[in-house]
């Protein structure tokens, strides 16, 4: 339950809320997490979320895992990383083009978190204990939640 809410203004142009503190460290800063256990626990959480009735749910702004509107930005990033020697531009471009050509999700939209990145996952004693930041929560392709990055 929110303890307080705020409306957009000139200093912060988005709605915001304050909730009670949840213990744990976000995984972006937590180096000693059991990755096998994390995968199981996050999978259980996402599966439970997808089972919630989606009737009349809003579409997530991240409803698809790959979007053609990202094409220019992705290609620019590939070029930048290739110029820095980080990756092979040809291989990365081939992967991007294969992703764009992949068939769209054929099922009904399901609830997705939309942002299961390390900074939104909390751990205590090396185990997942919380999922936060539901700003992209909504309906979409469940593959969207298969994009978390491992701890840094």
Kindly report, residue by residue over 127-150, the tens digit of the pLDDT. 999 999 998 999 999 999 987 554
Q: How far apart are CA 93 and CA 83, in angstroms?
A: 14
pLDDT at 19: 87
Confidence of residue 3 (pLDDT cuts 50, 70, 90): very high
Q: Whole-angstrom Cα distance, residue 40 to residue 138?
A: 22
Quote the CA–CA distance of 5 and 15 in Å, as a whole number: 7
Q: pLDDT tens digits, residue range 34-84?
A: 889 999 999 999 999 999 999 999 999 989 888 888 899 999 999 999 999
- pLDDT for res 151: 39
pLDDT band of residue 96 (cuts 50, 70, 90) is: very high
Q: Tell me if 26 sits within 8 A of 59, measured CB to CB.
A: no
Name 139's bridge partners: 59, 111
pLDDT in tens, 98-132: 999 999 899 999 999 999 999 999 999 989 999 99
């Amino acid at each position: 339950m929110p303890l307080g809410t705020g409306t957009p203004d000139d200093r912060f142009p988005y709605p915001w809320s304050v909730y009670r503190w949840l213990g744990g460290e976000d995984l972006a800063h937590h180096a000693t997490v059991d990755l096998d256990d994390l995968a199981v626990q996050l999978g259980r959480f996402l599966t439970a979320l997808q089972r919630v009735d989606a009737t009349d749910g809003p579409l997530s702004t991240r409803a698809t895992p790959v979007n053609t509107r990202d094409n220019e930005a992705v290609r620019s990033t590939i070029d930048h990383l290739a110029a820095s020697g980080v990756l092979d531009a040809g291989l990365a471009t081939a992967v991007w083009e294969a992703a764009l050509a992949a068939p769209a999700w054929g099922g009904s939209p399901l609830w997705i978190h939309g942002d299961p990145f390390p900074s939104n996952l909390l751990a205590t004693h090396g185990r997942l204990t919380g999922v936060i930041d539901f700003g992209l929560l909504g309906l979409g392709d469940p593959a969207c939640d298969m994009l978390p990055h491992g701890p840094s």
